[in-house]
A and B are shown apart, each in its own frame.
Chain A
């Protein structure tokens, strides 16, 4: 075994970075589809009938018990068979990332729906009532008054969900997707298993930068939108007993 060579950590990063786009694509696609499905689940729980509510709850419960790797394998092995037998459609040629998107969408819809639901419920119902009382339709009241306030409430938890998605998304390499870690594995096998430690350390650095960056981004957004007074409104404290 060759001795540990720290300089290889820096040397390998440029080879890994092009595959950052794959890792980010996994996250972005999952966020998009997962938010759609999560929105449906949240809406079902907040305003659905008894049956719909139960189904949504059951789904969320089951997903909470499912290890990501198991979901990934079920989708990866099960979906082609399902499509073949039900639609006589061969989907083995589909890009691996599609399976990854599907798996993580199914997984992440659950926590995302919980984030959405709890943030919606955290907004005072009086806001909705005030909106319809001045002539907004229920839909308009939701879109213009409730949604933006709920979104601000949701930001920190949504940020946490994105970070944990980013980390769990790294499992995609186990079905052969060449993302950051997948590329790392390829590099290691080129070196016949040597340089593993250096490569993993390089990956660790990249992931730390990514997750810390996302954390910073969300805490910035939170500050920006948390209803702190914008600069053009000067805050004059009102003294008791009179107008300023």
Chain B
């Protein structure tokens, strides 16, 4: 098949230059979501009653609906909600002048909160109860036990799922163009629209995502070996 190679090259550069946008979306969403996710995971593991039902409903909603629908929903809900909120506070904000990337952060954070809470819940749930008991017996408080004993172990066993979550989130951010964020997909789309070079443009985007995902997976692989040292040591002994 005949491809426009000079366009392919030129656009590849543009796409690669948009990689930071994708990474920023991903990293900010995960970091912003993490505390909430941890809270939800703990609620789902240890709480009963209304709070549990509330967070369960939230997780079910996020897991049960397409992310594109979440984007459309937030995109049509957030401006008026913000306006109402600002008015309530007596502020005058022009919500339509807001950088669209703000909406993207909101959507992907809200989405990640739920998915990450599931990862953390299963990781925390798989830590042997004896670990907590031993920590308490050793004189640690419950929060200390979580911080120094439980969470570090949970993080190790969560690594593969965290990697999956991150890769999926990176792929998910390809929909940020729906909110007019200038990420890889949007950049390519615009470049393609002048000369109808869509195939070349999307092949570039494909290459960009393969590159980003590969690097992220390598990093996780490395991190897993780093934080999981104690496991390796055990394997070598056994």
Contacts and interface: CB of A to CB of B under 8 A. Distances in A.
A74 interface: yes
A208 interface: yes
A125 to B, nearest CB: 24
A158 interface: no
B36 interface: no
Contacts of A81: 1, 199
A54 interface: no
Interface in B165-217: 167, 170-172, 174-175, 185, 198-199, 202-203, 205-206, 209-210, 212-214
A167 B210 CA distance: 22
Contacts of A207: 64-66, 69
Interface residues on A, range: 35 or more
A219 to B, nearest CB: 14
Contact of B171 (A66, A73, A86, A203): A66
Contact of A70 (B60, B68, B205): B205
B199 A78 contact: yes
A86 B3 CA distance: 13
A196 B174 CA distance: 22
Given A167-B67, A208-B61, A70 B209 contact: yes
Q: Indicate the member of B69, B175, B185 with the most A CB atoms within 10 Å.
A: B69
A192 B192 CA distance: 28
Contacts of A1: 80
Contacts, number: 99
A167 B202 contact: no
A85 interface: yes
A204 interface: yes
- Which DSSP category, helix, strand, loop or mixed, fits chain A's interface? helix
A200 to B, nearest CB: 5
A22 interface: no
A66 B199 contact: no
A196 B76 contact: yes
B210 A66 contact: yes
Contacts of A171: 66, 68, 175
A167 B213 contact: no
A181 interface: yes
A151 to B, nearest CB: 24
B72 interface: yes
B172 A181 contact: no
Interface in A204-221: 204, 207-208, 211-212
A69 B185 contact: yes
A208 B209 CA distance: 29
A129 interface: no
A208 B202 contact: no
A212 B167 contact: no
Nearest to B192: A77
A65 B210 contact: yes
Given A197-B77, A200-B73, A67 B185 contact: yes
22 contacts: A4-B80, A65-B167, A65-B212, A67-B185, A67-B205, A67-B209, A69-B175, A70-B174, A70-B202, A70-B209, A74-B203, A77-B198, A78-B202, A167-B66, A171-B68, A181-B72, A196-B76, A200-B69, A201-B73, A204-B65, A208-B61, A212-B64
Given A67-B175, A67-B185, A197-B77, 17 more contacts: A1-B80, A4-B80, A65-B210, A66-B209, A67-B171, A67-B172, A69-B175, A70-B174, A73-B202, A82-B1, A85-B2, A167-B65, A181-B66, A181-B72, A207-B66, A208-B61, A212-B64
The 4 lowest CB-CB distance pairs between A and B, nearest first, are A67-B174, A65-B213, A77-B198, A170-B66
